[in-house]
Every structure is written in structure tokens, then in C-alpha cells.
Amino acid sequence: MGFSAGPLIYGTYMASVDVFMMGILKAINLGWIHKSLIFLPTLVYAMQPWVFLKALDIESMTVMNLLWDLISDVLVTVEGLYFFKEKISRTKMLGVGLSFISIMLMTWTDELPNARKIDDK
């Protein structure tokens, strides 16, 4: 029982790609950079399945997808709030805060010795 860093590292890496690529897309949308750079997010996102596949060596698809999504949501929200000066309500900010609790719970290992996993036969 305890904290599992591996899934958090993979999830954070994949979410960091989201942050960078979402930033490029937002900058294109705002006219800060030319639309021709749309190829960059397309190429980078094409590599995400390979990273996700490797992450499946250490954690289930369910947990990895949730971690990736939650971490991405938090980081992209921070990017939107601070870099792009977007605003969200207090209720939505509470939702972001609850994401941290979910991330902590998803990285907690609660397996008991000799416990059978769902996918075990």
C-alpha cells in the first residue's frame, strides 16, 4: 500500500504534451501564430499512443486514461487562467481542486498481498 509514481509520471508526461499543444492551438485561434503551424500538434499527438502503450506495462488502461485526463485538465486550466487570462467561477475552481483529490486517489496503491486483479483469470 502506498503511492505509485510510475503512473503519475506517464500521466504527467502525456498531459504536458496536451498543455503545449493546446497552447499552440489557442495561439492559432487568437491569431498570435499562423494557422500553418497546425501540423505540429497533429504530429506530436500522433506519438501519444506509443507513450500510452508503454504506460500500460505498469498500470491499467482505466487508471492511466483517468490520470492523463485529470492531470491534463488541471494543467490546461492553469495554462488558460494564467497565460491566456481566462476566467472561471469559484464553483468550477472547486471542481479543479477536486481533480487533485482524484489524482491522489488514482496513484494510491491499495493492493493486498495475494489479491486478485479484475483481469486475472
Digit-coded pLDDT (tens) for 7-19: 999 999 999 999 9
pLDDT digits (tens, 9 = 90+) for 97-110: 999 999 988 888 77
Which grid cell is 91? 464553483
What tens digit of pLDDT does each residue of 18-76 get? 999 999 999 999 999 999 999 998 999 999 999 999 999 999 999 999 999 999 999 99
In a domain, 43, yes or no: yes
Backbone angles phi, psi at 2, to 5 degrees: 150, -165
- Residue ranges making up the domain that contains 33: 2-109
The number of domains in the chain is 1
Please report whether residue 121 resides in a domain: no
Model confidence, pTM? 0.79
24, part of any domain: yes
Q: Is 9 a member of any domain?
A: yes
- Residue 35 falls inside a structural domain: yes
Q: Is there a domain that residue 114 lies in?
A: no
